[in-house]
Chains A and B, each alone.
Chain A
Amino acid sequence: MDVIKEDLVLDCSGMLCPLPVVKTSKAIKGMEIGQVLKMVATDPGAPPDMEAWSRQTGNELLRSMQENGKFIFYIRRNK
Chain B
Amino acid sequence: MSKSDPNAPKRLALIASKGTLDWAYPPFILASAAGAMGWEVGIFFTFYGLTLLKPKLTAAVTPVGNPAMPMKMPFGPEGFQSFNWPIPQLIMANVPGFNALATTLMKQTFENKGVASVEELRDMCVEMDVRMIGCQMTMDVFGFKREDFIKECEIGGAATFLEYAADAEVQLFV
User: Which A residues have a C-beta under 8 Å from some C-beta of B?
Assistant: 14-19, 21-22, 24-26, 43, 49, 52-53, 56-57
The answer to whether B113 has its CB under 8 Å from any CB of chain A is yes
**Known contacts A17-B29, A56-B10; A25 and B114 CB within 8 A of each other:** no
Residue with the greatest number of chain A CB neighbours at <10 A, chosen from B35, B36, B113, B121: B36
Q: Which residues of B contact A15 (CB under 8 A)?
A: 114, 116
The answer to whether B70 has its CB under 8 Å from any CB of chain A is no
Please give the number of chain B residues whose Cβ is less than 8 angstroms from any Cβ of chain A in the complex. 16
Bound CA span A22–B32, Å: 7
Chain A interface helix/strand/loop/mixed: helix
Bound CA span A22–B113, Å: 17
Give the distance to chain B from A14, nearest Cβ to Cβ, in Å. Answer: 5
The answer to whether B59 has its CB under 8 Å from any CB of chain A is no
The answer to whether B155 has its CB under 8 Å from any CB of chain A is no
Per-residue interface assignment for chain B, residues 146 to 161, with 1 indicating a CB less than 8 Å from any chain A CB and 0 otherwise: 0000000000000000
